[in-house]
Structure 1
Amino acid sequence: MPKAYAYTRYGGPETETFIDVDRPDPGPGQLLVAVRAAGVNPVDWKVRSGFRRPGDTGTPEFPLVFGSEAAGIVEEIGEGVTGFAVGDAVFGNTVAGGYAEYALLPATVTAHVPGGLSLTDAAVLPVAAATAYDGIRQLGLPAGATLLVTGAGGGVGVAAVQIARAFGLRVVGTASEGKKDFVEQLGAVHVASGTDLAARVRAAAPDGVDGVYDLVGGDVLEETATLLTDRAKLITAGAAPEDVERLGGARVERARTAAVLDEVARLVVAGDLNPYVTRTFPLEQAGEALRLVEDGHARGKVVIEVAA
Structure 2
Amino acid sequence: MIAYGFSEYGGPETEYFLDVPIPDPGQGQVLVAVHAAGVNPADWKVRAGNRKDTVQTSLPAVLGREVSGTVVQVGTHVDGFSVGDRVFGSTAAGHGGYAQYTVLNASSAAHKPDAVTFAAAATLPVAAGTAYDGVDQLGLASGSTLLVLGAGGGVGSAVLQIAKARGLSTIGVAGTGKQEWVAGLGARFVPSGEHFADAVDTVVDGIFDLVGGDTLKSAVSLTKPDAPVVSVADPVLATSLGGSGVHRRRTTEAYEAVADLVATGVLTPRIDQTFPLERAGEALATVESGHATGKVIIEVG
Per the alignment, residue 83 of structure 2 pairs with: 86
Per the alignment, residue 257 of structure 2 pairs with: 263
Change beyond 3 A, Cα 1:55–1:16: closer
How many angstroms does 1:56 deviate by? 4.1
Contact 1:110 1:261 (C-alpha < 8 Å) held by counterparts: yes
**2:184 matches 1:185:** yes
| Residue type at the aligned position of 1:70 | V
In 2, distance between residues paired with 1:289 and 1:246?
35
In 2, distance between residues paired with 1:53 and 1:266?
34
Q: Output the TM-score relative to the length of structure 1.
A: 0.94
Per the alignment, residue 220 of structure 1 pairs with: 215
Contact 2:204 2:224 (C-alpha < 8 Å) held by counterparts: no
Per the alignment, residue 225 of structure 2 pairs with: 230
How many angstroms does 1:39 deviate by? 0.3
**2:62 matches 1:61:** no
Taking the TM superposition and a 5 Å limit, the aligned residue runs for 1:115-134 are 115-134=114-133
How many angstroms does 1:291 deviate by? 1.0
| Residue type at the aligned position of 1:81 | V
Contact 1:225 1:231 (C-alpha < 8 Å) held by counterparts: no
**2:275 matches 1:281:** yes
Deviations 1:134-188 (A, max 9, x none): 0000011011111000000011101111111111111000001111111001111
Taking the TM superposition and a 5 Å limit, the aligned residue runs for 1:143-154 are 143-154=142-153
How many angstroms does 1:109 deviate by? 0.8
Contact 1:91 1:112 (C-alpha < 8 Å) held by counterparts: yes
In 1, distance between residues paired with 2:118 and 2:52?
27
| Residue type at the aligned position of 1:66 | L
| Residue type at the aligned position of 1:138 | Q
In 2, distance between residues paired with 1:229 and 1:288?
44
The residue matched to 2:130 in structure 1 has which SS? Answer: helix
Deviations 1:167-219 (A, max 9, x none): 111100000111111100111100011112222111xxx4x211111110000
RMSD: 1.2
In 2, distance between residues paired with 1:30 and 1:51?
27
**Match 1:272 to one of 266, 271, 279:** 266
Q: How many residues are aligned here?
A: 299
Taking the TM superposition and a 5 Å limit, the aligned residue runs for 1:1-308 are 2-52=1-51, 55-56=54-55, 60-95=57-92, 96-202=95-201, 206=202, 208-241=203-236, 243-307=237-301
| Residue type at the aligned position of 2:161 | Q
How many angstroms does 1:230 deviate by? 3.1
Deviations 1:22-63 (A, max 9, x none): 111000011100000000001111111111166346xx4211
How many angstroms does 1:236 deviate by? 0.6
How many angstroms does 1:240 deviate by? 3.4
Where structure 1 has 5 or more consecutive residues not aligned to the other structure, the ranges are none
How many angstroms does 1:10 deviate by? 0.6
How many angstroms does 1:232 deviate by? 4.7
| Residue type at the aligned position of 1:125 | L
The residue matched to 2:110 in structure 1 has which SS? Answer: strand
Deviations 1:106-141 (A, max 9, x none): 111100001200111100100000000000000110
Q: Output the TM-score relative to the length of structure 2.
A: 0.97
Identity over aligned pairs, percent: 53
Contact 2:235 2:244 (C-alpha < 8 Å) held by counterparts: no
The residue matched to 1:14 in structure 2 has which SS? Answer: helix
Runs of 4+ in structure 1 off by over 4 angstroms are none
